[in-house]
Amino acid sequence: MRFLPRLLLAAALATATLLGCWWLLGGRTGELASRAKEALPLTLDTFLHTQQLRKKRLRSFCSRSTEGATLPESPKARGRLLSNMRVSTKLDFLYCQVPATGMEGWQQLLEKLEEKENVTVPMPLPYPRQNAPQTQLSKFNQTMIKAMIGSYIKVLFVRDPFQRLISAYMQSVGSHHHSFSTFVQDVLDRGQHNVRLEAKPLVSLCHPCLIQYDYVMMFGFLRQELGHLIHRAGLPKGIHLPEFMDSEVQWTYAWLSEQLFSELSLKQKKQLSHFYREDLSAFQFSNSLLSDFLSTPETQ
């Protein structure tokens, strides 16, 4: 009886994985890519307005949150806290490295730009430019870290937590997890601190209350949004953007989300919403299935 749904699911997983791979490799899937390009262009005004709204929501979250907003003095604690933060000292960018949020394409782009001799970001810096090969923010000393957090262009990539979870599930399919429900239960049992990076809430990985990101980029809209970001950051015009497939991947995931969500028990749905409550509150994910199950205090 459950054979057909499972078959469809397997097919969708394969499609999504394939799309994901194409997109990661910066590949092209001709028809899909051109279809997305025909989408209404995002104007600069709309882009900037959207950024304002996202940052306003984030500030409001941070004003209520207990998330640390200060840099720890001890190098060890600092290293732990900043373990996902990456910098390009040549281009003066700081970003948070979280898989399956679309930042892979961004990272590729930065690496490509860094290889070019004469690409610089026109921005006055309060210190001599480093040009260090090091990309881990935590490897610099506290003075440098503070200067970088204060002056670099800071970019955060966000994605619906349930979609990130599905992506993590797909990575683990075939290894040791049998059903999505078992996988979710394992995430819940491990808890926020012990869960694998792919499933950790973004707020705890990227510390948006400590690092005031200049741009919050949303999975599903990256191609257009990044075009504006690059322009605003003063990078040379006519840069060839990697072929972002996130908007296509998003369609598959919307369908997949419904299917997989229905395999969870009500308790799991509620617990999962609670698990990701900070992400759901800090960022606006339209149509996130988890938002509907955000718990009231008595169901926690």
Ligand X SMILES: *[C@@H]1O[C@H](CO)[C@@H](O)[C@H](O)[C@H]1NC(C)=O
* Nearest CB to ligand X, comparing residues 30 and 126: 126
121 near ligand X (CB under 6 A): no
Signed CA dihedral, 57, 60, 65, 68: sign only? positive
CA distances to 30, 71, 129, 189 from 192, in Å: 40, 21, 37, 9
Q: Which of 74, 141, 179, 262 binds ligand X (CB under 6 A)?
A: 141
Taking contact as CB under 6 A, which single stretch among the options 43-51, 81-89, 111-119, 282-290 is the one that binds ligand X? 111-119
Question: CA 219 to CA 114: how far, in whole Å?
Answer: 24
287 near ligand X (CB under 6 A): no
Tokens of 76: 């060890």
Tokens of 244: 């972002």
Closest contact distance (angstroms) between CB of 94 and ligand X is: 16
Signed CA dihedral, 6, 7, 13, 16: sign only? negative
Tokens of 105: 């394409």
Closest contact distance (angstroms) between CB of 142 and ligand X is: 7
74 near ligand X (CB under 6 A): no
Question: CA 172 to CA 183: how far, in whole Å?
Answer: 9
* Nearest CB to ligand X, comparing residues 127 and 197: 127
Closest contact distance (angstroms) between CB of 25 and ligand X is: 24
* Nearest CB to ligand X, comparing residues 143 and 286: 143
Taking contact as CB under 6 A, which single stretch among the options 63-71, 77-85, 116-124, 211-219 is the one that binds ligand X? 116-124
Question: CA 226 to CA 93: how far, in whole Å?
Answer: 14
131 near ligand X (CB under 6 A): no
* Nearest CB to ligand X, comparing residues 6 and 116: 116
Closest contact distance (angstroms) between CB of 140 and ligand X is: 7
116 near ligand X (CB under 6 A): yes
HSE toward the beta carbon, residue 144, CA cutoff 13 A: 18
60 near ligand X (CB under 6 A): no
Helix (H, G, I), strand (E, B) or coil at 231: helix
* Residue whose structure tokens are 């499972």: 6
Taking contact as CB under 6 A, which single stretch among the options 62-70, 79-87, 114-122, 271-279 is the one that binds ligand X? 114-122
Closest contact distance (angstroms) between CB of 143 and ligand X is: 5
Question: CA 115 to CA 289: how far, in whole Å?
Answer: 41
User: Tell me, what DSSP letter sits at residue 155?
Assistant: E
Closest contact distance (angstroms) between CB of 236 and ligand X is: 6
Per CB under 6 A, residues contacting ligand X are 116-118, 141, 143-144
